[in-house]
Protein backbone atom coordinates (compact mmCIF):
# COMPACT_ATOMS: atom_id res chain seq x y z
CA UNK A 1 0.00 0.00 0.00
CA UNK A 2 1.19 3.46 -0.92
CA UNK A 3 -0.74 6.32 0.64
CA UNK A 4 -0.60 9.66 -1.12
CA UNK A 5 -1.70 12.99 0.34
CA UNK A 6 -3.49 14.99 -2.36
CA UNK A 7 -4.38 18.66 -2.05
CA UNK A 8 -7.23 19.82 -4.27
CA UNK A 9 -8.04 23.48 -4.89
CA UNK A 10 -11.55 24.50 -5.97
CA UNK A 11 -14.26 27.08 -5.42
CA UNK A 12 -16.68 26.33 -2.61
CA UNK A 13 -19.83 28.18 -1.52
CA UNK A 14 -19.35 29.16 2.13
CA UNK A 15 -21.96 29.90 4.82
CA UNK A 16 -22.55 33.52 3.72
CA UNK A 17 -23.35 32.35 0.16
CA UNK A 18 -20.16 33.68 -1.42
CA UNK A 19 -17.74 31.59 -3.45
CA UNK A 20 -14.33 31.12 -1.91
CA UNK A 21 -11.30 29.26 -3.24
CA UNK A 22 -10.34 26.49 -0.81
CA UNK A 23 -7.72 23.76 -0.76
CA UNK A 24 -8.76 20.48 0.84
CA UNK A 25 -6.64 17.44 1.67
CA UNK A 26 -7.45 13.83 0.79
CA UNK A 27 -5.61 10.52 1.21
CA UNK A 28 -5.52 8.07 -1.70
CA UNK A 29 -4.19 4.51 -1.87
CA UNK A 30 -2.44 4.23 -5.24
CA UNK A 31 0.53 2.64 -6.94
CA UNK A 32 1.94 5.87 -8.39
CA UNK A 33 1.67 9.66 -8.28
CA UNK A 34 -0.22 9.56 -11.60
CA UNK A 35 -2.76 7.05 -10.29
CA UNK A 36 -3.19 9.06 -7.07
CA UNK A 37 -3.92 12.23 -9.05
CA UNK A 38 -6.40 10.44 -11.31
CA UNK A 39 -8.16 8.80 -8.34
CA UNK A 40 -8.54 12.02 -6.35
CA UNK A 41 -9.97 13.76 -9.43
CA UNK A 42 -12.42 10.86 -9.94
CA UNK A 43 -13.51 10.85 -6.28
CA UNK A 44 -13.80 14.62 -5.74
CA UNK A 45 -15.29 15.73 -9.10
CA UNK A 46 -18.91 14.77 -8.25
CA UNK A 47 -18.82 17.14 -5.25
CA UNK A 48 -17.29 20.14 -7.02
CA UNK A 49 -18.95 22.52 -9.43
CA UNK A 50 -16.63 24.57 -11.59
CA UNK A 51 -12.88 24.33 -11.91
CA UNK A 52 -10.79 22.05 -9.78
CA UNK A 53 -7.02 21.72 -9.60
CA UNK A 54 -4.84 19.07 -7.95
CA UNK A 55 -2.40 21.42 -6.21
CA UNK A 56 -0.05 18.72 -4.90
CA UNK A 57 0.44 14.98 -4.53
CA UNK A 58 2.99 13.62 -2.07
CA UNK A 59 3.79 10.14 -0.84
CA UNK A 60 3.31 9.61 2.89
CA UNK A 61 4.73 7.20 5.43
CA UNK A 62 1.30 6.04 6.62
CA UNK A 63 1.59 2.33 7.42
CA UNK A 64 -2.03 1.61 8.30
CA UNK A 65 -5.46 3.21 8.47
CA UNK A 66 -8.10 2.57 11.13
CA UNK A 67 -11.52 3.63 9.85
CA UNK A 68 -14.69 4.60 11.67
CA UNK A 69 -17.65 5.43 9.44
CA UNK A 70 -19.30 7.49 12.19
CA UNK A 71 -16.25 9.79 12.60
CA UNK A 72 -15.73 13.06 10.75
CA UNK A 73 -12.05 13.77 11.52
CA UNK A 74 -8.72 12.05 10.89
CA UNK A 75 -5.89 11.87 13.41
CA UNK A 76 -2.26 10.95 12.80
CA UNK A 77 -0.93 8.61 15.47
CA UNK A 78 2.83 8.25 15.72
CA UNK A 79 3.57 5.01 17.50
CA UNK A 80 6.90 3.51 18.57
CA UNK A 81 7.16 -0.26 18.34
CA UNK A 82 9.63 -1.42 20.97
CA UNK A 83 11.99 -4.36 20.50
CA UNK A 84 14.97 -5.59 22.48
CA UNK A 85 18.19 -6.45 20.65
CA UNK A 86 19.01 -9.94 21.94
CA UNK A 87 22.79 -9.52 21.61
CA UNK A 88 23.22 -6.12 23.23
CA UNK A 89 20.01 -6.06 25.33
CA UNK A 90 19.41 -2.53 24.00
CA UNK A 91 15.86 -1.29 23.50
CA UNK A 92 15.11 -0.25 19.90
CA UNK A 93 12.18 1.87 18.77
CA UNK A 94 10.72 1.83 15.27
CA UNK A 95 8.34 4.71 14.58
CA UNK A 96 5.23 4.08 12.47
CA UNK A 97 2.49 6.47 11.42
CA UNK A 98 -1.12 5.31 11.54
CA UNK A 99 -4.10 7.36 10.37
CA UNK A 100 -7.10 6.91 12.66
CA UNK A 101 -10.64 8.20 12.27
CA UNK A 102 -12.34 9.81 15.25
CA UNK A 103 -15.05 12.29 16.17
CA UNK A 104 -12.71 13.77 18.78
CA UNK A 105 -9.32 13.10 20.37
CA UNK A 106 -10.60 10.46 22.82
CA UNK A 107 -12.58 8.67 20.13
CA UNK A 108 -9.48 8.61 17.89
CA UNK A 109 -7.43 7.18 20.77
CA UNK A 110 -10.09 4.52 21.43
CA UNK A 111 -10.26 3.60 17.71
CA UNK A 112 -6.46 3.34 17.60
CA UNK A 113 -6.36 1.08 20.67
CA UNK A 114 -9.16 -1.08 19.21
CA UNK A 115 -7.19 -1.40 15.94
CA UNK A 116 -4.07 -2.42 17.86
CA UNK A 117 -5.86 -5.07 19.94
CA UNK A 118 -4.44 -8.04 18.04
CA UNK A 119 -0.83 -6.89 17.93
CA UNK A 120 1.75 -8.90 19.80
CA UNK A 121 4.37 -6.14 19.72
CA UNK A 122 5.02 -3.72 22.56
CA UNK A 123 4.26 -0.16 21.53
CA UNK A 124 4.06 3.34 22.92
CA UNK A 125 2.08 6.27 21.51
CA UNK A 126 4.44 9.13 20.69
CA UNK A 127 1.78 11.61 19.56
CA UNK A 128 -1.77 12.00 18.28
CA UNK A 129 -2.55 15.06 16.15
CA UNK A 130 -5.63 16.12 14.23
CA UNK A 131 -5.06 16.38 10.48
CA UNK A 132 -6.73 18.52 7.78
CA UNK A 133 -7.65 15.36 5.84
CA UNK A 134 -11.29 15.36 4.70
CA UNK A 135 -11.55 11.84 3.32
CA UNK A 136 -9.57 8.67 2.66
CA UNK A 137 -9.98 6.68 -0.55
CA UNK A 138 -8.75 3.08 -0.38
CA UNK A 139 -7.56 0.96 -3.28
CA UNK A 140 -10.03 0.59 -6.08
CA UNK A 141 -10.01 -3.01 -7.21
CA UNK A 142 -11.31 -4.17 -10.58
CA UNK A 143 -14.02 -6.85 -10.62
CA UNK A 144 -11.41 -9.30 -11.94
CA UNK A 145 -9.18 -8.59 -8.91
CA UNK A 146 -11.99 -9.36 -6.47
CA UNK A 147 -12.62 -12.95 -7.67
CA–CA distances in Å: residue 33 to residues 4, 5, 45, 58: 8, 10, 18, 7
Q: Give the predicted TM-score (pTM) of the model.
A: 0.88
What's the pLDDT score for residue 146? 40
58 CB neighbour count, 10 Å cutoff: 10
Q: What is the CATH number of domain 61-134?
A: 3.10.20
CATH 3.10.20 domain range(s) in the chain: 1-60, 61-134
Task: Give 72's contacts (C-beta < 8 A, 6+ positions apart).
Answer: 103
- Check if CATH label 3.10.20 holds for domain 1-60: yes
Q: What is the DSSP letter of 77?
A: E
Question: 39-49: per-residue pLDDT in tens?
Answer: 999 999 998 88
Integer Cα distance of 134 and 131 in angstroms: 9
Residue in 116, 82, 86 with CA at minimum distance from that of residue 100 = 116
What's the pLDDT score for residue 12? 83
How would residue 145 be classed by pLDDT, with cut points 50, 70 and 90?
Answer: very low
Amino acid sequence: MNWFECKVAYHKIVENGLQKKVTDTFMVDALSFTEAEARVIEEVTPYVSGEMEVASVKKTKISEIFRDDTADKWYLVKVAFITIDEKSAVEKRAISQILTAGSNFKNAYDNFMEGMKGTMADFEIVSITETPILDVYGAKLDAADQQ
